[in-house]
């Protein structure tokens, strides 16, 4: 989508559509009131007849309005306040984008009606929502279907205020970079596992670093990981014909003396459960088990596009988890890169095995903080549903920063406890720890396991099992939590 800011009069602007924000029970905003006067009260008449009340997401078309260049007006309900909350705003902008797409409009104009102090937040969220609603999946190299009607290509924000114009331009830049990162994460998640393999993730990451002097990409193969002693990660890949990869991307946007933020993303490109085989129903959705990795790669791209003045390291342990004669068995004991031994009590608790070696590997970068992102536990879906990611951390300041970034970006997380009382559930008679902690508090004990590999670090864990993809008719990856992660990194600048 092409976004721009214009300062010309609404009635003289040639566009397929002008979007007219309507607040429930409130007088028309100045820009909309001006259009209403020029169109001989047509907007107000629709409202007075009860065709539109202004509820969030409510729409009403006005075709061939008199006195203006635009071909049509789209009246759009924002809810009960001039500065709607994120939920109402996303609902409204989603409805407007879908209506525009179905109408055959190629361009649309949106007058600014938001107060200046919240304009950047609102504008950026609108850009992200428009891009998200416009997202469509298609297989790489497949023939794209010819559109049945003209496609929406251009959205312009209209304001005559220079300060507002500058704020919107900044919001567009940020929103577009974040939206593109979200779209990349969604595409990687949506791709079938026979295409999106560990090697594919490595190649897509290399594309981000292509011709970028401040990005260095390195990919370790299984022999190199074995030499390092990554026994936990490699135990997951034993059953697969696809070799595991450890993808490391270093983005250098600040002085060498500045310690980096390290993002670690779980990249299980297909998770059958291994010998502890999952039920067959909905196993196709286990291609989404690399959405943590996808979010890290999408965040890396957004940081590159924004050229943030920070240092960032993105680490993706990537593998499949399949059963075979070579696959790891329940009861096997493996040695992690940290030297700690792990009894594999359930091979379907594989995400923590690849993450723990990646967390240990991350220490060599002497990071300021480490954040891992993973579709880790079904227990998190039970606890929080799809609306929030689970957050667990050994550092209150880092946890609070992520919570704040979640609120700012409308990509929220919720903190769960990481108390020592949960640690004994991981006790093992045959190793330093088991890889599961029993049926109780599964999200917490999974984080307790990871915490043993990040004891010397400021560390946070985001369990995105509920947030990473949708089920049913809307089945597909969401690209979360790219928005949260990028906002956290922007805040650090």
Catalytic residue positions?
Answer: 278, 352
Q: Which two tokens stand for residue 366?
A: 């002497």
How far apart are alpha carbons 182 and 295 in whole angstroms? 7
How far apart are alpha carbons 175 and 114 in whole angstroms? 17
Which residues lie closer than 8 Å to 412 by C-beta, 6 or more apart? 387, 388, 389, 403, 406, 484
Q: CA 22, 28, 33: angle at the middle one, nearest 5?
A: 120
For helices 291-306 and 482-492, what crossing angle results, to 10°? 40
Which residues lie closer than 8 Å to 390 by C-beta, 6 or more apart? 377, 380, 383, 384, 413, 414, 416, 443, 461, 462, 463, 464, 465, 466
How far apart are alpha carbons 51 and 34 in whole angstroms? 20
Sheet holding 17-23, edge to edge: 2-6, 154-158, 107-111, 17-23, 72-79, 59-63
How far apart are alpha carbons 74 and 109 in whole angstroms? 10
How far apart are alpha carbons 480 and 66 in whole angstroms? 43
CB 17 within 8 A of CB 109: yes
How far apart are alpha carbons 362 and 403 in whole angstroms? 23
How far apart are alpha carbons 352 and 358 in whole angstroms? 10
Burial class (CB in 10 A: 0-12, 13-18, 19+), 459: buried
């Amino acid at each position: 989508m092409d976004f721009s800011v214009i300062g010309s009069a609404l009635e003289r602007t040639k566009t397929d559509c002008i979007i007219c924000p309507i607040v429930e029970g409130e007088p028309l905003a100045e820009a909309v009131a001006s259009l209403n006067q020029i169109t001989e009260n047509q907007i107000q008449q629709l409202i007075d007849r009860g065709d539109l009340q202004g509820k969030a997401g409510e729409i009403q078309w006005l075709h061939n309005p008199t006195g203006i260049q635009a071909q049509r007006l789209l009246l759009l309900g924002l809810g009960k306040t001039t500065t709607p909350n994120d939920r109402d705003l996303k609902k409204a902008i989603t409805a407007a984008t879908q209506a525009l797409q179905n109408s055959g409009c190629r361009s649309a104009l949106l007058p600014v009606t938001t107060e200046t102090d919240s304009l950047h937040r609102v504008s950026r969220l609108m850009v992200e929502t428009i891009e998200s609603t416009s997202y469509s999946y298609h297989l790489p190299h497949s023939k794209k279907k010819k559109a049945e009607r003209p496609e929406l290509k251009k959205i312009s924000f209209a304001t005559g205020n220079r300060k507002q114009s500058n704020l919107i331009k900044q919001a567009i830049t940020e929103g577009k970079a974040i939206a593109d990162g979200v779209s990349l994460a969604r595409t990687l998640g949506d791709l079938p596992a026979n295409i999106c393999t560990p090697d594919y993730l490595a190649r897509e990451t290399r594309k981000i670093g292509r011709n970028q002097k401040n990005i260095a990409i390195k990919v370790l193969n299984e022999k190199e990981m074995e030499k390092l002693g990554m026994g936990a990660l490699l135990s997951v890949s034993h059953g697969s014909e696809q070799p595991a990869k450890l993808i490391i991307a270093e983005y250098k946007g600040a002085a060498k003396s500045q310690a980096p933020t390290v993002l670690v993303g779980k990249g299980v490109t297909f998770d059958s459960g291994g010998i502890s085989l999952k039920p067959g129903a909905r196993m196709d959705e286990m291609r989404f088990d690399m959405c943590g990795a996808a979010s890290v790669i999408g965040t890396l791209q957004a940081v590159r596009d924004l050229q943030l003045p920070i240092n960032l390291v993105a680490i993706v342990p990537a593998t499949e988890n399949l059963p075979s004669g070579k696959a790891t068995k329940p009861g096997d004991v493996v040695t992690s890169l940290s030297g700690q031994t792990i009894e594999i009590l359930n091979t379907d608790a594989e995400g923590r095995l690849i993450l723990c070696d990646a967390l240990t590997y991350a220490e060599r970068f002497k990071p300021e903080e480490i954040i891992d992102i993973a579709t880790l536990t079904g227990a998190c879906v039970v606890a929080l549903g799809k609306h929030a990611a689970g957050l667990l951390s050994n550092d209150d300041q880092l946890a609070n920063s992520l919570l704040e970034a979640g609120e700012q970006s409308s990509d929220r997380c919720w903190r769960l406890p990481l108390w020592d009382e949960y640690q004994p559930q991981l006790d093992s008679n045959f190793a330093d720890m088991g890889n599961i902690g029993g049926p109780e508090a599964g999200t917490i004990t999974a984080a307790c396991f990871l915490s043993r590999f990040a004891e010397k670090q400021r560390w946070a864990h985001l369990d995105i099992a509920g947030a990473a993809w949708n089920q049913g008719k809307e089945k597909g990856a969401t690209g979360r939590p790219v928005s949260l992660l990028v906002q956290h990194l922007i805040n650090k600048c």
